[in-house]
Amino acid sequence: MTTPSRRRGLRLASALGTGALLAGSAFVGTPAAFAQDAPTAPDAAENSGTSEAGQANINELGSCIAATKTADILLILDQSASLKGFDGKPPTDPDNIRVDATRDLVKQLGTHAEDLGADINVKLAGFGEGYHNSTGDYGDWVSVGANSGDLDKAVDGFGRRNTDMYTNYEDALAGASREFAGAPTTDGKSSDCQAVLFFSDGKVTHPEKSNEQAAADVCRPNSPLVSLRNSGVRFFTVGLIPEDETDSPRELLTEMAEGPCGGGEANGAYFDAGTDPAGLLSAFRGFIPTANSVDSTLSMSEPQRFTLDNSIDKVRLSAQPTTSIDGQVTPVLTAPGGERIELTAGETRVGSADVTIETTDVVNGMVDAELTLPEGGDWAGEWTFGYDAPTAPDEKYKVRVTLAPGLTVQVDELSDGQTTGLKSDGQVHASLVDADGNPRALDGEALITAEFVTADGKTVELGLESATDGVPVAFPLDKVTDAASGEIHFRADITTKAAENAPGTHLSPVNSTFPVTVTPVNMPTIGKPGSLDIDGKETTVDIPVTGPGRVWVEPTTLTSDDGAALPDGVGSVEVSSQYSGPDNALELSEGQDATLPVTLKTSDLADGRVAVTPQVHLVSDDGASESDVAVPLAGNMTSPVNTGVFIGALISVLLAAILIPLLVLYLMKLYTGRIPSSPGIHAVRIPVKVDNGRLLRTDKGGNFQVSYEEITGSGRTVANGRDVNLAGVPVHVKLGANPLAAPTALVDAQAPSISDEGRQDGTAARLPLAVHNHWFMLGTPGDPTTGEVVLAVNEFSTEGRVNELTSQIATNGPEFLERLAATPVDAPTQSGKQGGRRRKKKGDQVDAAAVPVPPADQSWPGSGFGPATGGPTAFGGPSTGQTGSSGGNYGGTWGSGTNGDSGGPPPFGGPTPFGS
């Protein structure tokens, strides 16, 4: 991990060497310019458009990845509504180019991982009204070296994520501080190279704070951003600037990446995409660390020149205009002999180079090309890349040409990632190697510099050596006179071999950085501590130590004011050890290995990053010298789950999982459970009796028959969706309690009834919702010989269809009346309450007191039953306290209880919401 003071030292060293050593440039101009001495190479920051401090931080990240071969990268993308246009303002990204830029960045990170042989893990997240990171939508951590395509679906989803009404930076930063707890580990240890790339297109907005207060809280002391910085997570930002500059996030995003912003050492870079979404592709690519490359931002009329020699066998070139350009934008590559090709997708050959080319339609003119030198080939000389863009000569493009991708500085003593303790009488050996670890000899010049930067920012120069022949070069450590922790920074500056007509090209440095402690020969050596993962109020971390001498840690309390990184809500951490002073120090003999346990205690726990730097006290074996060494400990703190809250939440989720689908089903039934209002209905109600097994009409006499003219001459009625009145008998929709059962139509009559298909719900006839061309019978309890028939036909029915229905009635009527006569009846008791049921038998007489006689003014002509005016609600429950379908104040349907509530029953039938 890089401490703030170490970073200051490294940044100072990087800045001092920028003019002469940090490159990322090429010699640009007309051929006549090369008749003079080569100009001094401008620095990488100037060429890339990134600030000098930002470029130094990019280089630090690249140096860390090159040394440790691991990285965890969190990509957080804005998904607020301003992306598609909001509140009358134009969209900032109408074509979703941020999606293409993110996909491209993931692919480029995968290529970078393969070049270095590194394990680079990438996680996606979004923010707007809050922080969004569900694995179902955003994916999990993915090692992108060989699996970058695994994130394609999650990346594509950002095209739809542009509806959030706020741009809540604070929630996004808090989410980021928790995210790294889930990152992959190696042997239980997290990567030392962790970074966030944060994209937004607008200023901070917050649902509960003023915009000014929300912006101020992003950079408040002890904010999640400060915690990320102090725990070693590098923070980079990308800004897409709205056309209305008053909404520009540029100032705050720059502050978050490169400014003080509440505290902690700035460790990122701001990439400005401008107002054109096309700039996102080049801005996102700016996050890829530079190494052994030429990086420039040029006008379309300027070429990028670079000189190759034959010790370089692979070149990777990428270029993209920074704005959208209409018209011709053709990338062109020219070989040393003058052969010129247009870079279109596919494979080709130019000079001695085999060229593989990829293009995209997202940005006109964007191109990626890989040049390979076949064995025995010769491509030495000056190459030129440029654009043929006659309509846009003053527009800009960014270009990167990487020579020998994957070239790194390997240090024999440190590259295994496990060794961090060194003695001042020793040496370290560095060499240039390719991605497979094979030494690389170069025809040009390669100089490796080494320096030790202590935790308090002091720099000790260890030397400058030529590494051209690929043989390891030694750097003694004897210039480190005091025990100290820090980093050894190796930088290889490479210049290709000059051609006859062109100087060699100075490339951006190849950096590798290794955390170490260096101690005198007679003092203990300190190894690499384990990861600091706190999930309880007391946690112990072991620090490897090797003798001779004595070692201890004095008790202390660390807060954020001391530079500790702590999650919000955690005020301090107590640091102690069982070896706490000279009286109980851990004593070590020469070469003896042991562990120094360091215990951290806190009364509060929260989710987020944590980093503390205890001072380990060392005493030499003769007791003549002693020193304090800062040992950084970094990791994650997680708050344990509250069991009661967890169980409550689990129960709520399970109930929701059951009830929400049920609610949806009920709503669907409510929506679809309707009696069709078209076509209209003709209905007749006819009193009947049974005589010697025949069904007779009692109003006209004779066998039961209904003529076509009779029924079509009756009044036309239309259902209102939930109800229909069929010749004075109400019929209502009943949804029912079972969400999977189809809704039905129930006859609401005081007398028991049965449908033409012999179906009943309790004592009521149950019809299909389309009641057209159906009939039902109303019976007389205890009397199988009398009743009524209600026939309802479609207004467009034919005479033949009417004849079929009347024939069915004549055939089935006697049987149905007999069934209705045996229907149980809820008869009133002498107290007026409903009594028990008893089944009537054929021939039983009906008790006159049990079935009240309706008033004369409610009788239906030709029958012994009164008109129907009451009934259940749309959901099938009884409507009590109203006149029933057979007259009288009997209330409800036969067989249903009364509830005495004039407001009607609950919706799904019966006295409860789910039916009786």
663 vs 533, more confident: 533
One domain, residues 144 and 272: yes
One domain, residues 104 and 209: yes
Q: Quote the CA–CA distance of 448 and 459 in Å, as a whole number.
A: 16
pLDDT tens digits, 477-492: 999 999 999 999 999 9
3-class secondary structure, 433: strand
One domain, residues 193 and 261: yes
Peptide bond preceding 743: is omega within 30 degrees of 0, i.e. cis?
Answer: no
pLDDT tens digits, 344-392: 999 999 999 999 999 999 999 999 999 999 999 999 999 999 999 999 9
CATH number of domain containing 547: 2.60.40.3480
Task: Give the 3-state secondary structure of 443-460.
Answer: CCEEEEEEEEEECCCCEE
Name the domain boundary from 233, 267, 285: 285
pLDDT confidence bin for 825, thresholds 50/70/90? low
One domain, residues 336 and 425: yes
CA distances from 405 to 294, 398, 520, 614 (A): 12, 18, 38, 39
Residue 468 has pLDDT above 90, yes or no: yes
Task: Over range 461-471, report the average pLDDT.
Answer: 96
One domain, residues 113 and 29: no
Task: Over range 624-651, report the average pLDDT.
Answer: 84
pLDDT of residue 416: 78
- 395: in domain: yes
Task: Over range 580-590, report the average pLDDT.
Answer: 96
- 512: in domain: yes
One domain, residues 451 and 537: no
What is the β-pairing status of strands 330-334 and 340-342?
Answer: antiparallel
One domain, residues 583 and 726: no
One domain, residues 607 and 493: no
**Domain extent at residue 334:** 1-50+292-519
- 479: in domain: yes
pLDDT tens digits, 120-164: 999 999 999 999 999 999 999 999 998 889 999 999 999 999 999
Residue 246 has pLDDT above 90, yes or no: no
Q: Cα angle vertex 660, ends 659, 666, to 5°?
A: 85
The H or E element spanning position 777 is: strand 774-780
CATH number of domain containing 442: 2.60.120.380
Residue 81 has pLDDT above 90, yes or no: yes
Residue 22 exposed, middle or buried by CB count within 10 Å (0-12, 13-18, 19+): buried
pLDDT of residue 665: 72
pLDDT tens digits, 752-796: 999 999 999 889 999 998 899 999 999 988 889 999 999 999 888
Residue 28 has pLDDT above 60, yes or no: no
Task: Pick the closest to residue 215 from 261, 266, 279 (CA basis).
Answer: 261
Residue 41 has pLDDT above 80, yes or no: no
Name the domain boundary from 637, 661, 684: 637
Task: Over range 311-316, report the average pLDDT.
Answer: 96
Provide CB contacts within 8 A for 622, sequence distance 6+: 522
One domain, residues 841 and 786: yes
Model confidence, pTM: 0.67
- 220: in domain: yes
Name the domain boundary from 591, 621, 637: 637
pLDDT of residue 895: 33
- 60: in domain: no
What percentage of the chain's residues is helix, strand, coil (to nearest 5)?
20, 30, 45
One domain, residues 493 and 390: yes
Contact by Cβ (8 Å): 841, 822:
yes
Peptide bond preceding 207: is omega within 30 degrees of 0, i.e. cis?
Answer: no
- 865: in domain: no
Domain count, the chain: 4
pLDDT tens digits, 522-531: 999 999 998 8
Contact by Cβ (8 Å): 121, 111:
no
CATH number of domain containing 155: 3.40.50.410
pLDDT of residue 160: 94
Angle between helices 169-179 and 211-218 (to 10 degrees): 30
Task: Pick the closest to residue 150 from 139, 161, 163, 159 (CA basis).
Answer: 139
| Number of neighbours of residue 871 by Cβ within 10 angstroms | 28
One domain, residues 565 and 710: no
One domain, residues 87 and 43: no
> Within 362-506, where are the H helices?
none
CA atoms within 13 A on the CB side of 496: 34
Q: Give me 729's structure tokens.
A: 């008998």
Residue 258 has pLDDT above 90, yes or no: yes
Task: Pick the closest to residue 820 from 774, 871, 760 (CA basis).
Answer: 760
pLDDT of residue 588: 96
Contact by Cβ (8 Å): 242, 89:
yes
CA atoms within 13 A on the CB side of 291: 29
pLDDT of residue 342: 97
Mean per-residue pLDDT over the chain, rounded: 84
CA distances from 391 to 301, 394, 617 (A): 11, 9, 68
What is the β-pairing status of strands 142-143 and 367-372?
Answer: unpaired
- 747: in domain: yes
- 730: in domain: yes
pLDDT of residue 507: 97
